[in-house]
Structure 1
Amino acid sequence: MTVKKICIIIIFSCITFHVFSQEKDTKIEVTKLAESTKSWNGDQLPAYPKGKPQITILKIVIPPHKKLDLHKHLVINAGVLLKGVLTVVDDKGDVLELKAGDSIVELVNTYHYGENKGDEPAEIIVFYAGVVGTPITVKK
């Protein structure tokens, strides 16, 4: 085999490898972030309420070193922390520490609060599965 043929084979192999390696970058990826019948503290999730379904999606930004008021959710909800850190504490003293990328299956009908103990804003997207006319959050 001549050097020219070997070079052509090597170049063709490199191009083929490059094309196929780029295809991997364009694959659609699906990552399950959470799946549970229980909230983060182990409490069983309640049945969905009867009524006309209403989905609410909130982006909540908690400034550094700020604490949310004590509150509870009347509907099932879950979220993903996009940025920062967040500490969630329930009324029994259970604690959940979240960092960016972590998911949470939130508490329902249990008082709790979130606190950003970090030095940057904590950003979380929360999805609420409720019914029309039922508040998603109630402060204590």
Structure 2
Amino acid sequence: MNRFTKTVLFSLGLVVVVGLGVAWAHEDGVLKVTVVAKSTKSWDGEPLPAYPSGQPEITILRIIIPAGEKTPLHTHGVINAGVLLRGELVVHKEEGKSLTLKAGDSLIELVNKPHWGQNDGKVDAEILVFYAGVEGKGITNILDDHAEHDKPAKKE
């Protein structure tokens, strides 16, 4: 072996030994990775659509739904996923299917299907949502703000 090869092998060996020593010395500080969500389907079991063409644009939103409130009926034209950071949230499809989330739960959202979120809990629900969109195109389309549905019936 020439001197260069010996130096490279010694350096690699040193990196491995030092790296393992750091991992052994700091067991509690070792990097831990947990898959929060991974799927080819949205929460209703339907396959996710293909990504749209164009310049990709990632949007990350922190959404707070106050206790006792709900989001408008809406759709998303892009794939998105979220993690409920605190509170509780029930996500509803127009056809009646729903999904209940508690803090720490993940969600792979519906794409191009009307839905809304409802916080029936006593604390605000906070969700962090990641959208895989296309530059210049919206990520949410509001269909109905529920205002008409929530008004008391008129007496005649």
TM-score by structure 1 length? Answer: 0.83
CA distance in 1: counterparts of 2:38 and 2:48, whole angstroms: 12
Q: Secondary structure at the match of 1:101?
A: coil
Selected match of 2:79 from 62, 76, 79: 76
After superposition, give the CA deviation of every residue in 1:63-105 in whole Å (9 maximum; x if it has no partner).
1010111000010000000000000001121110000000000
Q: 2 CA distance for matches of 1:88 and 1:105? A: 11
Structure 1 residue 23: Cα displacement = 2.4
2:53 pairs with 41, 50, 53, which one? 50
Q: Residue 116 of structure 2 aligns with which residue?
A: 113
In 1, distance between residues paired with 2:66 and 2:80?
22
Q: 1:122 aligns with which of 99, 122, 125?
A: 125
**Distance in 2 between the 1:86 and 1:104 partners?**
11
Structure 2: unaligned runs, 5 residues or longer: 1-22, 144-156
Q: Alignment RMSD, CA only?
A: 1.4
Instruction: Measure the CA separation in 2 of the matches of 1:21 and 1:131.
Output: 44
**Structure 1 CA distance, aligned partners of 2:64 and 2:24?**
38
TM superposition shift of 1:21: 9.1
- In structure 2, the CA distance between the partners of 1:82 and 1:22, relative to structure 1 (3 Å rule), is farther
Question: Partners in 1 of 2:43 and 2:117 — Cα distance?
Answer: 13
Shift of 1:106: 0.2
**Mapped pair 1:66 → 2:75:** no
| Match in the other structure for 2:33 | 30
Q: CA deviation at 1:139?
A: 0.7
1: CA distance between counterparts of 2:137 and 2:94?
22
Taking the aligned partners of 2:25 and 2:88, their CA distance within structure 1 comes to 34
Q: Which stretches of structure 1, 4 residues or longer, exceed 4 Å deviation after superposition?
A: none
Identity over the aligned pairs, expressed in percent?
55
1:97 has 2:103 as partner = no
SS in 2 for 1:25: helix
**Secondary structure at the residue paired with 2:133?**
strand
Calculate the TM-score normalised by the size of structure 2.
0.75
CA distance in 2, matches of 1:21, 1:91: 53
Partner letter of residue 100 of structure 1?
A: A
One-letter amino acid matched to 2:54: G
